[in-house]
Amino acid sequence: MTNAVESLPWWHNRLRRVVILRRDLFDVLPKIEDAEGTVIYSDPPYLHDTRGNGGGSRYEHDFDEASNPLFGRVDDHARLAQELRRFKRARVVVSYYAHPRLAELYPGWTHRAVAGRKNLSLQNKRGASVEEAPEILIINGPSYAGGGA
């Protein structure tokens, strides 16, 4: 098996045309061309009621989930879904914890369950314990891994 140092040229070549952006998603998405060979992976804050501790937030930058025009608030999950639905040729993958609302946000998209666990000690809970994390990937096309919902 190739060790990490020997594999560097392969990774260098593989990542040559990859662009990783860490900016406001709503500023970046309109500028991305819907083209074959483009992949967009979005990992937004999970829906509030899928989080532990009564939906408490642990995000530095969270999403609003209720539209309120009087306060200039928009449902950011709906806004994200609307922005991502414009991509027809680019591959889009969004990760969330499973929730019935996602079917209405991403109608016709493939929902693929991903087995995962979360370490609760990292979430400021007493004792180190592991809990199932019902994460799903939502894909704007078929899942090449097979299966899916």
Q: How many domains does the chain have?
A: 1
**CB 140: neighbour CB atoms within 10 A?**
20
Q: Is the pLDDT of residue 148 over 50?
A: no
Q: Is the pLDDT of residue 36 over 90?
A: yes
Range of the domain at 107: 38-139
31 assigned to some structural domain? no
**pTM of the entire structure?**
0.69
126 assigned to some structural domain? yes
- CA–CA distance, 17 with 9 (Å, rounded to integer): 14
63 assigned to some structural domain? yes
Q: Is the pLDDT of residue 18 over 60?
A: yes
28 assigned to some structural domain? no
Q: Give the residue from 135, 130, 131 showing the smallest Cα distance to 115.
A: 135
123 assigned to some structural domain? yes
- For the chain, what percent of residues have pLDDT higher than 70? 66
| Residue 61: predicted pLDDT | 58
Q: What integer best gives the mean pLDDT of the chain?
A: 77
80 assigned to some structural domain? yes
Contact between 136 and 102 under an 8 Å Cβ cutoff? The reply is yes
1 assigned to some structural domain? no
| Secondary structure class of 41 (helix, strand, coil) | strand
52 assigned to some structural domain? yes
